Structure 1
Amino acid sequence: MGRFVKVLLMGCGHIGRYIYEALSPRHEVVAVDKGGACPEAPAQDALEVAVGGYDLVINALPGSVAYKASRRALEAGVDVVDVSFYAEDPFSLDEVARRAGARYIPDAGVAPGLSNVLAGRIVADLGRVDELGIYVGGIPERPVGPLGYSITWSPTDLIEEYTRPARVKRGGQVAAVDPLSDVELVHSPLGLLEAFYTDGLRTLLKTLDVPNMYEKTLRWPGHLEKIKLLRDLGFMSEEGDPQPRLVTARLLARLKFDVRDVVYMRVVGAGGERKIQYEVLARPRERWTAMQIAAGSVAVGMIYVVKDLEPGVTPPEYIGMSNRLFPRLIATLKQQGVEIVQEVVERRAL
């Protein structure tokens, strides 16, 4: 893809700063952020900035305003790569984008995001997939503090992961399960981890014809036993004055430790006698955290595929299915220092 004339980056927080510095050497990037966190970024509301005249918008805003911002850019006919996570259905923007002739890639982060890309690749390579599992975690490189975890994002959103029912597919039907109902031990390059259900399948529930699918988030062993105790005792409840959940969130916010992070993901699919597994590993580099590198690199990679898409919504799994676009995205991730390993297993009678 050729050089963009101008890229508008909405939001310059944790991930936005990485995107800004990764793109600036090769592209003209204008960042807008209420806090003016990026160099030379005007402290301006992204919902008010004029989007006309830009070739691409990268949306790295908080989920509370991200949907409105993407819709606004698409209505103006500008392509959007969206690294944010919001509650609305991304496909509800398909007609808006098509009508304006704009292309939209939602969920362009780690999970959802890269997890979807690899899931789509597995389905494309296997043809028939009976079961698909996603395991992903952004964790300290060693257990730390009373929960073996260091808070790197909103503690209120973290509590949501442990309390909000997670959608999975079982026997072809979508079901909502208790996130802590089936804690599983997982062997990884980092050591033994534990996994619990989270609601991260998103568009995969609609786009992939796989009868059994789930996503699980990873933590160091012992973490979930303590979390379940807190939840069962009512510390994550919304009932009461003050709400126990709000008090717990304030206490969890203190659990920030000076420890390096690591991002590990495994996406595994099985169909018939074949199984394909991808492992992803990102570690901190210079002043960047592993999560900044992993999530920011996906958004950076997406700008090199978006112009080859048709107008409308293209979820990341469709990019994974493309023999032309998938290698292009993976090459960008490798350049940014994200390690990806594929393993293929085939059972054959001798």
Structure 2
Amino acid sequence: MRVLLLGCGNIGRYIYAMLSKHEVVAVDKAGGCPGALSQDALEVPLGGYDLVINALPGAISFKASKRALEAGLDVIDVSFYPEDPFALHEVAAKAGARYIPDAGVAPGLSNMLAGRAVAELGDVDELGIYVGGIPERPVGPLGYSVTWSPVDLIEEYTRPARVLKDGVVTAVDPLSEVETVPSPVGTLEAFYSDGLRTLLKTLAGRAKTMYEKTLRWPSHVEKMRLLRELGFLSDQGDPPPRFITAKLLSRLKFDVPDLVYLKVVAAKGEKRVQYETLVKPRGGWTAMQIATGSVAVAMQYVIKDLDPGVTPPEYIGMSTKLFPRVISAIKQQGVRIAQEVVTRTEL
């Protein structure tokens, strides 16, 4: 199989390495992968490929995926962009191409496990996603090491989070209703984040309450709430304070191993299903590279079985044929998922 990989950042490099058995042509102006073509991702020729994997920054990834789909190429997209992935459904279907958006850890693996839970339980009363990429121990003044765009990080604390309450999509303050969550590495705190994306459409009518919460070490949220209340995260002013804050946050990088923890919990009546995974660094790769990249790589084993158009990860999770195949491929890369089913009965 001949694969075109767009982008060789942190995740793209992992994907490139894991696809070594295929002929992979990487496009990256910074040369992040060996032999990468230093071309504009929106101009690179698309002929002669069987699959495109998009690991570009969100600002251009939607356009890049659209271009590849218009050319009739199947696309696995690990990028996170603001546009609606379903806006590409007609484009892909018309060209006979298959498109899997949000093929990372969250959204991505989280969606698959949410879809699996709904397939097992039927309509659910509550569906919660808890996910965090954190240092293995609290470090620095925020108990956190900044490993990605600090401007995008600030968005997590300021952008209203869309959740489902009593079947209605509602925007909530991300730093409201903070809760503590037990985990294999200790107690963490969770706050709302705007990560449900396609789930707000695909599971509409199948869940009464649905939300995603980001995980951090305790006391982190209190400090970020203080910065927000003082105006340091504001986008108003000249220059906007958040850009100055982002520069300061970019210094908070610490040489501490990371970990990724994901838990998906669904409940219906007296029955509860929980999926859980903890990913740690391995083989010179960070936990985030492994957790995110392994999902994108695994999708190659199912994409040809999909109908043309957009197939979000939750639909793959609902399939008794496709879900085990993806989970098996993820497991081969060291990401193991535990399932717990609890049913309350009266004695």
TM norm structure 1: 0.98
Structure 2 gaps, min length 5:
none
* SS of aligned partner of 2:124: coil
Query: 2:307 is matched by which residue type in structure 1?
Result: E
Query: 1:94 is matched by which residue type in structure 2?
Result: H
* SS of aligned partner of 1:108: coil
TM norm structure 2: 0.99
Deviation at 1:322, TM superposition (A): 0.5
1:81-100 equivalences in 2 (<5 Å): 81-100=76-95
Instruction: Give the structure 2 partner of residue 196 of structure 1.
Output: 191
User: 1:294 aligned to 291, 297, 301, which one?
Assistant: 291
Query: 1:125 is matched by which residue type in structure 2?
Result: E
Deviation at 1:128, TM superposition (A): 2.1
Query: 2:71 is matched by which residue type in structure 1?
Result: A
Instruction: Give the structure 2 partner of residue 48 of structure 1.
Output: 43
Greater alpha carbon shift after TM alignment, 155-164 vs 28-37: 28-37
* 2:283 is the alignment partner of 1:314: no
User: 1:75 aligned to 67, 70, 79, which one?
Assistant: 70
Instruction: Give the structure 2 partner of residue 257 of structure 1.
Output: 254
Distance (Å, rounded) in 1 between the aligned partners of 2:236 and 2:87: 33
- Is the CA contact 1:105–1:313 (under 8 Å) kept in the aligned structure 2? yes
Deviation at 1:127, TM superposition (A): 1.1
Identity of matched residues, %? 74
CA deviations over 1:174-198 (Å, ceiling 9, x no partner):
0000000111000110100000000
* SS of aligned partner of 1:191: coil
User: 1:125 aligned to 111, 120, 128, which one?
Assistant: 120
Distance (Å, rounded) in 2 between the aligned partners of 1:272 and 1:187: 23
- Is the CA contact 1:116–1:316 (under 8 Å) kept in the aligned structure 2? yes
Query: 1:210 is matched by which residue type in structure 2?
Result: A
RMSD over aligned Cα atoms: 0.6
Distance (Å, rounded) in 1 between the aligned partners of 2:11 and 2:298: 14
Query: 2:332 is matched by which residue type in structure 1?
Result: Q
- Is the CA contact 1:104–1:313 (under 8 Å) kept in the aligned structure 2? yes
Query: 1:204 is matched by which residue type in structure 2?
Result: L
Query: 1:322 is matched by which residue type in structure 2?
Result: S
User: 1:283 aligned to 280, 284, 306, which one?
Assistant: 280
Greater alpha carbon shift after TM alignment, 115-124 vs 46-55: 46-55
Instruction: Give the structure 2 partner of residue 207 of structure 1.
Output: 202
Count residues in correspondence.
345
- Is the CA contact 1:36–1:44 (under 8 Å) kept in the aligned structure 2? no
* 2:45 is the alignment partner of 1:38: no
Instruction: Give the structure 2 partner of residue 18 of structure 1.
Output: 14
User: Which consecutive aligned stretches of 4+ in structure 1 deviate over 3 angstroms post-superposition?
Assistant: none
Distance (Å, rounded) in 2 between the aligned partners of 1:207 and 1:117: 12
Deviation at 1:349, TM superposition (A): 2.6
Instruction: Give the structure 2 partner of residue 164 of structure 1.
Output: 159
1:168-183 equivalences in 2 (<5 Å): 168-183=163-178
Distance (Å, rounded) in 1 between the aligned partners of 2:124 and 2:339: 17
1:97-108 equivalences in 2 (<5 Å): 97-108=92-103
Distance (Å, rounded) in 1 between the aligned partners of 2:122 and 2:160: 30
